Chain A
Amino acid sequence: MSAMQRLHETELRRMRRRAAAVPVISTIIGSAFVLLPVVASVPLLPPVGLLMLLGWRLLRPELWPAWIGLPLGLADDLLSGRPLGTAMVLWTAILLAIDAAEDRMSWRGWWEEWLFAGVACGVATLGSWAVARFMGGAGALRMTAPTLVAAILLFPLAQRVCAKLDVWRLPQ
C-alpha cells in the first residue's frame, strides 16, 4: 500500500516538474531558432523566443511572475549574441506592461491578445534596434520591418503551439 503511495508521489512530482519546465524550455528553444544555419544579409527571422514568451504569458497569466523575463531574456541574449541585458530589459518591461494593461482591461479576447503581442513585438524590435545603435552598429530602422511583420503574422501560430504544449504538459 505504502509502495503504491510512494509510486504515486514520484509520479505526481514528475508531472509537476514537467508542468513547470515545458513553458521555460519551449521558450528557450524558440530563442535557439537563431542558431539555424542561415546566413542572411538582412534580418529576416522573427524573434521566436519572444513570441513563445508572449504566447505562454497570454495563455496562462498565472504561470510566471514578471521577473521570468530576466532569466529567459538572458538566455535569449546569450544565444543571439546581442549585448547582454537587451532582451532581459525588454522582455521584463513587456511583461510588466502586460500586467499593468490587464489590470485596466475588463475584456480580453483573441484580437486583444494579438494587439498586445503586436505592440510588444514592436517595442522589442525598436528597443533592440536602439541598443544596436547605442553600440554603434545599427543599420536603417526600416531594415527591422520584415522581422516585425513576420513576428506579428506568426503570433497566432505561436499561440497554437503554446496551447498544444499546454494540453500535453497538464494531462487530465
Chain B
Amino acid sequence: MAPPSNRRPGFSRRAQYGLFIGYVVAVAGIVVGLGLILVARFDPPGFALLRAGVLDLTAPISAAGRSGVRSLGDVFDGIGDYLDAGTQNGVLRAELVATRQQLVQAQIDSAENRRLRRLTRLIERSPERVASTRILGSTASDIRRMATIGAGRSDGVRPGMPVRSSEGVVGRVYEAGQLASRVMLLTDGGSVVPVRRLRDGAPALAAGRGDGMVELRPLSAGANPFQPGDIAVTSGIGGVFPPNVPVALVTERREDVAIARPLADPARLDFVIVERPFAPPPPANQASRAEPTLAQ
C-alpha cells in the first residue's frame, strides 16, 4: 500500500499554513518540554501541586484493584511452593535446627542487653508513627522504582519521611499529595541508605540498582568484608531511618561491593508504616527555623 497522501494538503494556501504552524507548535513544544525536564531536575518541588493532584485522583483506581491482584500473586506463589515441597522441607528442617540455637542465644543476649541498658540509663527513642497505610501500586513501566501509598499530607505524610514495614525498610516518601504519596523504594537507582552489618557493625551504604536488588558499598578500609548470608540493618546515620531496621540480605559477593536482596519485598507487602524522620534536624537548622518565630 502506498502511504496515504492526506498529509500533503495540495495547493490550498490555508491548509499549507495550517500544516506549517502545526510543525512550529510541535518544535516549540519540544523546547518547552526540555525546559520542563530541566525544571524537574533543578527545582524538584516545581509543579508539585499538579503532580500531587493527579496522584490523588488516580490513587483510588489502583486501590480498587489491589486486593484482587494480591490474591492472584498468592496463587502463583502457592503453585511454586507445591512444586518445591520436597527440597523446601529439607531446607526448612535444617533452618529450624539452626534457628532454635540462635533463639536461645538471642534470649541470653536480650537479657544481657536489658541489664546493660539499665546500667547506662540509655533512653530508648522509638520513632513516632505518622500513618499506617497500604501500598497501592508502582511505576510498573518506568525505570524508576516508585510505589504509591494510600496516605498523604492530610495524614501528616511529608516528603523525605521513612517508610517501613514489619519486615524492614521499604523506602522514603518522594512526593506527597493530599490523599496519596509516591515512595522511592529501596531498590530505586536514586536511593541510598546508610547501613551496618548486623553481626559486627561493619558500615556500608545500600544503594538501589533498579533491578530489585541493592548494592552494599562497604565504607571500611581494606577488602570487601561482606559474605553471602550477611544481614544489613540501618545504622541510624543521617537521621532519616531509625537504627536497627532490617534492610537487606547479602546474596552475592563481588570485588568491591556486595549484592543484596531487600528483606521487605514491595510486591508482597500489604501494609506499610510511615514514620517521622528519626533524628531531630541539626542545631544550625533549628536555629534558622527559630528566627522567624522570634521576629514575630
Contact = CB atoms under 8 A, between A and B. Distances in A.
Contact of A138 (B32, B135, B140, B144): B144
28 contacts: A34-B142, A36-B62, A36-B65, A36-B137, A37-B64, A37-B65, A37-B69, A37-B137, A38-B137, A41-B266, A42-B212, A43-B139, A44-B140, A79-B58, A84-B39, A85-B35, A89-B33, A92-B33, A96-B26, A96-B27, A99-B7, A103-B7, A132-B144, A137-B210, A138-B144, A139-B145, A139-B210, A143-B143
Interface of A: 32-48, 61-62, 65-67, 69-70, 73, 78-86, 88-89, 92-93, 95-96, 99, 102-103, 105-109, 128-129, 131-132, 134-140, 143-144, 147
A85 B51 contact: no
Contacts of B51: 78, 81, 84
Contacts of B25: 65-67, 70
B140 A38 contact: yes
Contacts of B61: 32, 35
Contacts of A45: 140-141
A15 B238 CA distance: 60
Contact of B58 (A32, A46, A47, A144): A32
Contacts of B66: 37
Interface of B: 1-4, 6-7, 18-19, 22-23, 25-27, 29-30, 32-37, 39-41, 47, 50-51, 54-55, 58, 61-66, 68-69, 135-147, 182, 184-185, 187-191, 208-212, 265-267, 269
Contact of B138 (A38, A73, A131, A143): A38
A135 B266 contact: no
Nearest to B58: A35
B265 A136 contact: no
B186 to A, nearest CB: 10
B36 A46 contact: no
Contacts of B27: 96
A86 B37 contact: yes
